[in-house]
Amino acid sequence: MQRDAIMHSTNPLIEVKRFGQSIWLDNLSRTLLREGGLKRLIEEDGISGVTSNPAIFQKAFAESPYYKEEVAQLRQTSATLEQRFETLAVPDVQAACDLLRPIWEQTHGADGYVSLEVSPTLAALEQATVDAGKRLHQAVNRPNVLIKVPATPQGVLAFEALTAHGISVNVTLIFSLHHYMQVAEAYIRGLKRWLDGGGDPQQVKSVASVFLSRVDTLVDKRLDAIGSPEALALRGTSAVSMCKLTYQRYKELFHGPLFAELKARGCRPQNPLWASTGTKNTNYSDVLYVDSLIGPETVNTVPDATLGLFRDHGKAAATVETGIQQAQRDYLALEHLGINMRDVGDELQVDGVKLFEEAFEKLLASLK
């Protein structure tokens, strides 16, 4: 018992909670659910949420043995491929929601959520995204589900509309400060519409998923192409700098005058969520995107491998607000070198939608 208490107290995944951050798992499968893996992560590592996406479900369907029988049965039905997918995915999301329900209740709806994404083929279709979001929300029928919507121009409008209907949303594929501001402002507009219609302010929760590793991958390529000492010194800084500056925008928006009235009426701020936090470049720390961004009212959703690495040698400390001036200098230096971070974000968002579409197509093909 004493040894367990010592291990528990020194687990950095548990320790980050002292600094106000939630750690969510960026994975979901029936193997995790049925073999107790997710339950153990909740109990032993303090995992307090789950995110999923088409690539995660595609991998789960391909690797987990617990879908095979139901897939065989679905193939004998007249259901469309997308209906077959939802028949498989929705119970998984419901089961994860039920496991996390005690956390949702203990935190009064601040934590304990599971994300389910609308089809990435709808990324450029506002009304279709709204319709899909409502349908999935109703199908899961759990108060702690987040419907995942991309931060494309049409997706942002759909997000506002879903918020105005009292539906909690995880806005994904945010790759720039510009994307973040569009999303945050849409949340505020949607909340106002929800309250004006008599909605319960406590019913709505949202997170803004800002992606990291892909930002560094693309920016580093451009810095390598420039090749100057100044350029090479900036490698591996762009993503963390972007998120540190995003957090400052978050504080200004949600702890400032723009949100003050909504806050007084009981609305929740839209928390920043750090996503794509597995380090792709082996020259960088394998926990770079976790260690560097710990702070109040944030979420970090981590894949299994990064979770294990941070548990092993991560450092829990208040870091999201350290080095802000350096982050600003690095951002300005990138602009000075001709790297426009808004353009980088737009390019990555287009690529991100395409990658999710490809994963979704593979997923649907496996259900034929």
Given the residues 148, 221, 244, 362, the one annotated as active site: 148
Q: According to the 3-state scheme, what is the secondary structure of the chain?
A: CHHHHHHHHCCHHHHHHHHCEEEEECCCCHHHHHCCHHHHHHHHHCCCEECCCHHHHHHHHHHCHHHHHHHHHHCCCCCCHHHHHHHHHHHHHHHHHHHHHHHHHHCCCCCCEEEEECCHHHCCCHHHHHHHHHHHHHHHCCCCEEEEEECCHHHHHHHHHHHHCCCCEEEEEECCHHHHHHHHHHHHHHHHHHHHCCCCHHHCCEEEEEECHHHHHHHHHHHHHHCCHHHHHCCCCHHHHHHHHHHHHHHHHHCCHHHHHHHHCCCCCCEEEEECCCCCCCCCCCCHHHHCCCCCCEEEEECHHHHHHHHHHCCCCCCCCCCHHHHHHHHHHHHHCCCCHHHHHHHHHHHHHHHHHHHHHHHHHCCC
CA dist., res. 141 & res. 120, Å (int): 21
Spatial separation of the C-alpha atoms in residues 297 and 271, rounded to whole Å = 6
Task: Please state the separation of Cα 97 from the chain's center in Å.
Answer: 16
Residue 6 CA to residue 29 CA, distance in Å, equals: 31
Q: Determine whether 148 is an active site residue.
A: yes
Rounded (10°) angle between helices 238-254 and 324-336: 120
Active site residues: 148
